[in-house]
Amino acid sequence: MVEVDTPGRSPASPARTAASGARGAALLVHSMRDPASVSRLDAEALDVVLHAARRHDLLARLEHDLVGLGVLQDLPEAARRQFANARVHAQANAVTLRFEADRVRRALAGLGIRIVLLKGVAYLWAGLPPARGRFSVDIDILVPAADVGRVEWTLVNGGWQPAEMNAYDQHYYRDWMHQIPPLTHSERGVELDVHHTIFPPVSGIRIASETLLADATPVGDGLWVLSPADMVLHAATHLFQENPAGRLRDLLDLHDLLTLFGQQAGFWDSLTERARRHGLGRPLYYSLRYAADLTGTAIPAAVLARTEAAFAPDAVQLSVMDWLVRRAIVARSPGQGGGGALARFLLFTRSHWIKMPLGVLLRHAAVKLFYRMHERNAAKTG
Amino acid sequence: MPPANTRGGDQKGFPSIAPACHVSCVSEQTIDSQTWRLLEPAGLAWRCWDDEYIVFHPWSGMTHYLDATAGAVFELLLDHAATVHDLATALAGLADTPATDNLSTVVQQVLHRFDAVGLAEPMP
Amino acid sequence: MRLGSVPEPVLRAQFRAAGVRMRLAGLCLNLRTDVPAVIGQIVQMYEDLPLEAGVGIDDYRLRLTYASPLRRFVGRRTQIYIEGEAPFFPTPHRLAYLLVEAALNWCIRQTVSNVILHAATVEREGLAVILPAPSSSGKSTLCAALVTRGWRLLSDEHAVLRPADGRLQPIARPISLKNESIGLIRQWAPDGHFSPAFSWAIGEDIVYLRPPADSIARATETARPALIVAPAYRAGAPVTLQPLGKSETFRLLVDNCMNYHTTQRCGFDAIAGLVDSCAAWRLSYGTLEQAVDAMEALLARARMDPMTSRPTITTA
């Protein structure tokens, strides 16, 4: 756990700034783990938690938990005001997301293929704990790779518009990433991402998407979500193969899923076996390790030991990762400098390196730069 | 004011219901006897002013502007599900005119637009 | 405690350190800044603004500073951060005050517990008028003309509608005037308290007019909306008043609503309630005198029959 400090209010010196950022991070994590403790905070500490929660899109989730505990009304009006605002935003978002998922269902109903909802919209549709107070900006679905063309055609004819992008970006999405370029509905404006696997094939990690689809769980009205183990692995991949900086929300989602599914018979065995099959052992290991460490998730010791033995990196790499994640998963205020910023930068570089082999990454960066310059020149002369 | 690259902003999603969409190539009889119902009508709120209906649909979060014809179809469906034929007949009765094919086509167009915005759906 | 009552050196120190906590529009906004020139301008325009003492819960933390360490000395561009994010482009430091005003607008617009319309709102004799219109439509100019003729200012920019009771919440902030409007209002109200001019482009000036003392004193007093008037200024045109149909009024209000979709059923009910209970007009005018006279006439009519649903008069 991050050390708790008690700085003064003046942010004059960088050391004090870093310390207050660390305190804010500790307070936030503690408050999310134990929402009842929020009602015992003084005004100054409550202010710290509110701002930290907002920065991580956690205000509405915390509000939901405080309501459930019956302690929201005991908080000062200034706090309740912020919570109320966050709740309204989250509720409107849930309406938009649910309706959009239904429209996608309706548009693709005639194709007779399995549509698997992913991430936020999956939690929402299936009524899972991570859905509470959540704000997602787009819809993600997984479809069989062989049917991607038909799906894209049907959606474009059903009122969805492809994003405007140059040939290179098209190639990036289609051939290197795991989705077709984002679609946006022409009237409703919500973005839809259609995936055919949950990890970019270019990186050399092969995900057996056929099994993801085959093992999916039905959630009514012809829609599906990933099986519990696959859902956890997807969340783990999304967090630890990409940049985990500032993504406490996603770790809390993992905590929710592991806590819920961990009670199901056979879940842990299924989880580790699938991780092995899909080649996602490393992100699973990180998820279990940091969920246990930071969010207090109850994971059977035997499971932790097994995944550590099978999937953990060497001790040096692990301690670097420990340092990186603990420093950066809770974002301090921007411009704080010190370990936080360095950790964020290193994690950002790492996430790109994981997605693409180095040679490809360098070429990608060079081509993107060329296009940006080209567009700028075109704008000047055009 | 210096230009602001503000993020955020609000999303408005309420197109007017104008009867302008395509009817699929199925026999007239089949279309006429297809039953339609409102989709997730719980919590619907509306006003009728100057022969225009303004309908808020909580399930979709959208607000719809309906002209007099679409509004009449909406009110009829509020009572119970109905076929195109039923609706055309009822509309003709309200307007005190005969139920022509043209009226039937107009009703179909209204219903297809309702379907597109998630306000109504054909029953299986 | 009011902003203008704090001794200047103390205030400067507080702005630089923990920040000054200002109560505005039902929010507590913590502003920190190390740009000295802007402090005097804020005090001038917000002299009577209530402050919160000590440490507590802030709705938004604002920080106005130089765009980079280099920019403090070279080029001198400033930037304002709201909760660590910068929603606006960096600005020359002589225009830094504009960033403060823009940031305050931004904070007010985040509220979704109230329905926020892009409109001027004024009140007289217990009846409030909502003037919905996009930017550069002349609503701020008309608003300035009215409040310097005895109308109370609720806001020149945002109508804040409370869903619970349908009443309007005031935000007594300085009124922004642009370009030609500046000269017009200086002539109209020579005793007004104007800020210096901010020239942000060739031929583009902004001046702020401080609200009358009465408007500031009654800044916590809500008002009942009775009239909706869509203003349209056309130099030299004759004054006309056109009644607006109810569904047309609804569309007008939604088009000028900043959080309609997010407020969902609440927003629909609040705006439908306004349409049900207010008379609505489109007011075209060529001079401020015409507009102010027309508004007085509408108010008189509303006083006699506030629930009129189909007004029929026009004035030449």
Distance in angstroms (rounded) separating the CA atoms of residues B10 and C257: 9
Q: What length does chain C have? A: 316
Predicted confidence band at B4 (pLDDT cuts at 50, 70, 90)? very low
Given the DSSP bridges, would you call strands A115-118 and A223-225 parallel, antiparallel or unpaired? parallel
Q: Residues A8-62: pLDDT tens digits?
A: 233 334 555 566 778 889 999 999 999 999 999 999 999 999 999 999 999 999 9
Q: Name the residue in chain C with its Cα closest to that of B15.
A: C251
Q: What is the CA radius of gyration of chain B?
A: 17
- Read off the pLDDT of each residue in A63-92 and give the average, rounded to a whole number: 97
- Which of C89, C248, C272 minimises the CB distance to B5? C89
The neighbour count for residue C200, using CB atoms within 10 Å, is 17
Distance in angstroms (rounded) separating the CA atoms of residues C257 and C163: 14
Q: Which residues of chain C have pLDDT under 50?
A: 308-316
Q: Which of chain B's residues have a Cβ under 8 Å away from the Cβ of A98? A: 59
Predicted confidence band at A165 (pLDDT cuts at 50, 70, 90)? confident
Q: What is the mean pLDDT of chain A?
A: 84
How close, in Å, is residue A80 to chain C by CA atoms? 11
**CB within 8 Å: B1 and C200:** yes
Predicted confidence band at A170 (pLDDT cuts at 50, 70, 90)? confident
Residue B14 lies in a domain: no
Predicted confidence band at B32 (pLDDT cuts at 50, 70, 90)? confident
Predicted confidence band at A343 (pLDDT cuts at 50, 70, 90)? low
Q: Which of chain A's residues have a Cβ under 8 Å away from the Cβ of B60? A: 95, 99
One DSSP character per residue, C166-185 reads -PEEP---PEEEETHHHHHH
A304 within 8 A of A271, measured Cβ to Cβ: no
CB distance from B10 to chain C under 8 Å?
yes
A31-34 long-range Cβ contacts below 8 angstroms, 24+ apart: A31/A62, A32/A58, A32/A61, A32/A62, A32/A248, A32/A252, A32/A295, A33/A295, A33/A296
Residue B3 lies in a domain: no
For the cut 90, the answer to whether the pLDDT of residue A355 exceeds it is no
Token pair, residue A76, equals 């000062």
Cβ within 8 Å of residue C117, ≥6 positions away: C130, C132, C158, C159, C161, C253, C256, C257, C258
pLDDT at C173: 96
Predicted confidence band at A250 (pLDDT cuts at 50, 70, 90)? very high
pLDDT at B24: 39
For the cut 60, the answer to whether the pLDDT of residue A376 exceeds it is no
How close, in Å, is residue C232 to chain A by CA atoms? 30
- Read off the pLDDT of each residue in A226-241 and give the average, rounded to a whole number: 93
**CB within 8 Å: A85 and C57:** no
pLDDT at C67: 85
**CB within 8 Å: A88 and C262:** yes
Output b/e per residue, C18-28; b: 16+ Cβ within 10 A. bbbbbbbbbbb
Residue B16 lies in a domain: no
Residue closest to C170 by CA, chosen among C220, C132, C225, C208: C220
Give the count of domains, chain B.
1
Residue ranges per domain, chain C? 3-109, 115-304
CB distance from B61 to chain A under 8 Å?
yes
Domain span at B73 = 23-116
Token pair, residue A254, equals 């993992």
CB distance from B42 to chain C under 8 Å?
no
pLDDT at A335: 39
Q: Residues C239-297: pLDDT tens digits?
A: 999 999 999 999 999 999 999 999 999 999 999 999 999 999 999 999 999 999 999 99
**CB within 8 Å: C84 and A44:** no
For the cut 80, the answer to whether the pLDDT of residue A78 exceeds it is yes
Residue whose structure tokens are 């609000």: B10
A275 within 8 A of A233, measured Cβ to Cβ: yes
**CB within 8 Å: C17 and A9:** yes
For the cut 80, the answer to whether the pLDDT of residue A381 exceeds it is no
The neighbour count for residue B15, using CB atoms within 10 Å, is 15
Q: Which of chain A's residues have a Cβ under 8 Å away from the Cβ of C13? A: none
Residue B122 lies in a domain: no
Residues above pLDDT 70, as percent of chain A: 78
Order of all β-strands in the sheet with B35-38: B82-83, B35-38, B120-122
State which H helix or E strand residue A278 sits in.
helix A267-278
**CB within 8 Å: C89 and B8:** no
**CB within 8 Å: C206 and B1:** yes
pLDDT at A362: 58
Q: Outline where DSSP puts E strands in chain C.
A: 20-24, 27-33, 51-52, 60-66, 77-82, 91-92, 115-124, 127-132, 152-155, 158-161, 168-169, 175-178, 198-201, 204-209, 224-233, 240-243, 279-285
Residue ranges per domain, chain A? 98-226, 227-382
pLDDT at C72: 77
Q: Residues A280-294: pLDDT tens digits?
A: 899 999 999 999 999
Q: How many residue pairs bridge chain A and chain C with CB atoms within 8 Å of each other? A: 61
Distance in angstroms (rounded) separating the CA atoms of residues B4 and B124: 50
Quickly list H helices, C96-138.
96-109
Query: Which CATH fold would you assign to the domain A98-226?
Result: Beta Polymerase; domain 2 (3.30.460)
3-state secondary structure at position C79: strand
**CB within 8 Å: C260 and B5:** no
Distance in angstroms (rounded) separating the CA atoms of residues A179 and A91: 28
B82 within 8 A of B3, measured Cβ to Cβ: no
pLDDT at C134: 82
Token pair, residue B28, equals 């007239």
Bridge partners, C207 (sequence order): C177
Residue B10 lies in a domain: no
pLDDT at C236: 84
pLDDT at A279: 84
pLDDT at C184: 94
pLDDT at A244: 85
Residue B6 lies in a domain: no
For the cut 90, the answer to whether the pLDDT of residue B38 exceeds it is yes
Cβ within 8 Å of residue A129, ≥6 positions away: A123, A256, A257, A259, A260
